[in-house]
Amino acid sequence: MTQQTNPEYKLIKFTNGDDVISEIYGLQDSSNDIIFLSEPYQIRVFQLPTSDQQTIALAKWNPFTDDEMIPVSMRHVISVTNVKQDLLSYYKKVSEEYKNENEQFVDEEEFIGTDEDIDALEDDNEQLLELLKSRKSTIH
């Protein structure tokens, strides 16, 4: 993967309907079906209940990883467009605030749990898998 010296910020529209703003790498490499997203945030649009206006919020697109680069197949991308300056400024502000908040995050053991907690969760997961395997009908 070739790193660019200046980040390229883009809006990505996915086949599942997600609209994401992110730093993007690998877009110019047409020999690869993969792009890499750094600091991706999903754009969520909300209708204000007291007016006809809409507002947006940004939420971490993949909040369950600490990976700095997230590979994405171009097969799941509908379009990649430029970002309006006001949205880009908002994105940078939100991204910076998120980084600052996570620097003061709880310690790893408190967040993940003790070895006993992890063992208990693994046992619960095994029991759940066995239960699901034993069911013959589809649950809706």
**Positions in the chain short of pLDDT 70:** 1-6, 102-125, 128-140
> What's the pLDDT at 117?
64
Q: Find the Cα–Cα–Cα–Cα dihedral 53, 22, 64, 128, rounded to 10°.
A: 80
What is the distance between the alpha carbons of residues 85 and 91, in angstroms, rounded to a whole number?
Answer: 10
CATH architecture, domain 9-104: Roll (2.30)
Q: Is pTM beyond 0.85 here? A: no
